[in-house]
Amino acid sequence: MRALHPAAPVQAPFSDAIARRIARPFAPRRPWGNWSDYCYTRLKLRSDPLYPAVIAALRHSRSPVLDLGCGLGLLAHALRMAGLEQAYLGLDIDATKVRRGQQILARSGLADARLEVHDLGCSRPAHRGSVTLLDVLQYLDQPTQQALLADAAGMLDDDGVLVIRSTLAEDSARGRTSLRADAWAHRIGWMQTRPQHYPGAEELQRPLEQAGLQVQLQPLYGNTPFNNWLLVARH
C-alpha cells in the first residue's frame, strides 16, 4: 500500500568538503596515476542527492545491505562516512569495476564491506535485510525488472528497507536527457549494457504493493538534468 503521510523531504547533494572526503580513497596512489574514478566520484557526490537520500532511508535500520548493481561500491563509503555500520555486500556484472572497487575497499579498510561479480539477469542471491537498486533497472528488460522487484521485496526482513533510484519513462526534457546520457555512458564503455526498458511509476510500485510493502515515490533531481526518482519501501 502507498504511504498516506507525506514523503520525506528531498535530500541535497553532499557539500564539496564531504564529497572530497568520501572520494579520497578513489584517488590514485601516485600523482601521475589515473584520476578518472576520483573525478567521477567527487562530481557525482557534489551534484547528485542520491547518497544522502539513501543514507536517510537506511539511517534507522540495522539490517545488512545488499547493493544490487553496486559499480565501484561508492555506497559503502558513503554509509561509513555517515556512521552507518550495517554489513554491506555489493554485486555488479562489471568485473572490471568490481575489481577496482575491491582495491579501493582494501585501501580504505572499511569494516564488513565487500564486492562481488554477479549477473542479476541470471539469478538473485539469498539475502535477508535491506536492498538497494540504484540506477540499475533500466538495464534489464521489463519481465526481469518485475521479477527482480518481487525478489527484492521478498528479501526484506522486518527492519529492512528497499531503496530504488530509477529514471522513469516520461516524454519530457528530463526524460530525453536521461536517455541520451545512458546511451552515451554505454558508448564510452562506462556501462557494459545498453538500457532496455525504463519503467513507469506504476510498474515500480505495483509488485511492491502486492508484496504488502508501504511505498513512497518522489523526484530526486538534485543539481542534475535527469529524470531520476527515489522509491523507498518497507513493511
Q: Which residue has the higher pLDDT, 109 or 76?
A: 76
d(CA 144, CA 199): 11
Query: Under the phi-then-psi rule, with left for phi > 0, alpha for psi from -120 to 50, and beta for the rest, what region is 186?
Result: alpha
The 10s digit of each residue's pLDDT in 104-142 is 999 999 999 999 999 988 888 899 999 999 999 999 999
DSSP 3-state assignment of 18? helix
Query: pLDDT confidence of 10, banded at 50, 70, 90?
Result: low
pLDDT of residue 123: 83
pLDDT of residue 30: 86
Bridge partners, residue 217, by sequence: 231
The 10s digit of each residue's pLDDT in 153-180 is 999 999 999 999 998 887 777 767 776 7
Query: Please, what are the domains in the chain?
Result: 16-234 (3.40.50.150)
Nearest to 101 by CA among 33, 92, 64, 186: 92
Local structure of residue 234 (DSSP, 8 states): E
pLDDT of residue 29: 85
DSSP-assigned letters across all residues of 74-107: HHHHHHHHTT----EEEEES-HHHHHHHHHHHHH
How do strand 214-219 and strand 228-234 relate by DSSP bridges?
antiparallel
